[in-house]
Structure 1
Amino acid sequence: MEASEEKVINKILKGLWLDSGASFREGFFELSPNHFLRFAKSDLNLKTKRSTVNALSNAKRAIECQVDEILYVLGHYKAAKKERWNFPKKIEFLKSLDITGPNILNKINQKRNLLEHEYEYPKKDEVETAIDVAELFISATEKFTEKYCDNFGIDYMDKETNISVSFDEDNCIFEITHPKEEPGQWAEYKISRESPMFLPLLKKYAEAIKLSI
């Protein structure tokens, strides 16, 4: 990486990302996290052993679906699928970007694993907790999945920089545009997942989405 590029990226990482426009997204999958959440609540209301088991499974599906939608927004859904990331690895990835950190998500996954592999019947209060956590998680991360922020301008030290950052989530690439020192000249380059600067940029991108209106 050239010194000029490193200087620009340093401004991007330390600067304020200003959303230059957002549009509402359409659904990622045929069934959404909220579909599974409604299924879970409906199952629990039936008050049978079978419906309680189904309620826990649907609460976990709601969380997993929301996690996958966030991974899609962050350009990692295809990679996670190809590399066969399990649920804990997905959660650890989101934690590394400061998107979510509640350990209770892993506990829900462990509880369902017991249900599937050791045939343990879940208690009603545990299922209610799982549904509550799913609902809170979806609500806390809905900014990632409801709107599409396709471009950001960067302010650095309270000044406009004319630096523009966009993220191609389908190809998992950052595209950066900024003015050169020569008047009227512009530089454009891309930062891919293989670059050591990619994850710091992705973390800043996630932060910008959380702060967007």
Structure 2
Amino acid sequence: MTTLASSPNTHVTMAEKIELIDQLAARARILPVITINREQDILPMADALAAGGLTCLEVTLRSELGLTAIRVLREQRPELSVGAGTVLTRQMLAEVEAAGAQFVVTPGVTLDLLEAGVDSPLPLLPGTSSASDIMLGYGLGYRRFKLFPAEVSGGVAAIKALGGPFNSVRFCPTGGVGAKNILSYMALPNVMCVGGSWMLDNEWIKNGDWQRITEESRAALALLG
């Protein structure tokens, strides 16, 4: 498998980054969306997910510990694929690159951020909730997107409809995806993986119930056969 890490000085083409995203999606199938609120949770949470089979992690920048978590995991859990989520600006993209992130996920798009992603050595998965957003990214070479928030944005029906005009585009639906509807999403040919956090209940994290997170992660993957 091609590495998801690239030297900052190495030019990576959009086609190569699409391939990297496809490899990531095939490995992940389910991409857990993680928000770290306590530094002591970083390693046990990642270990609990990995023990359940989820080894590709999207660490969001929704908390001030996001960059710290990315650095810690890249240094201490090199066997995991660690990406950055909730990247909103060109500056944040530069920060997650410096922290060692191996891929980048955004909740939406701006032209500036998409252009920064073209120049970045990291594969970037732009968030979209409309055909217009897809066209903005499409014009710059993007072919892989996160549909967010998936359920609010039309869910399975929206992805089916978008497959008509964008038949070379594949999606990672995130937002409202869980055990009850994951199979409906994964059955679609233009869905490459799903993102979610239903295996990361806040109470389990608060109480350090890491075994429950492992069990829920394993159960989530078992749904996919």
Sort the TM-score into its range (normalised by shorter chain). under 0.3
Which protein is richer in helix relative to its size? 1
Structure of greater Rg: 1
Scaled by the length of structure 1, the TM-score of the pair is 0.25
Scaled by the length of structure 2, the TM-score of the pair is 0.24
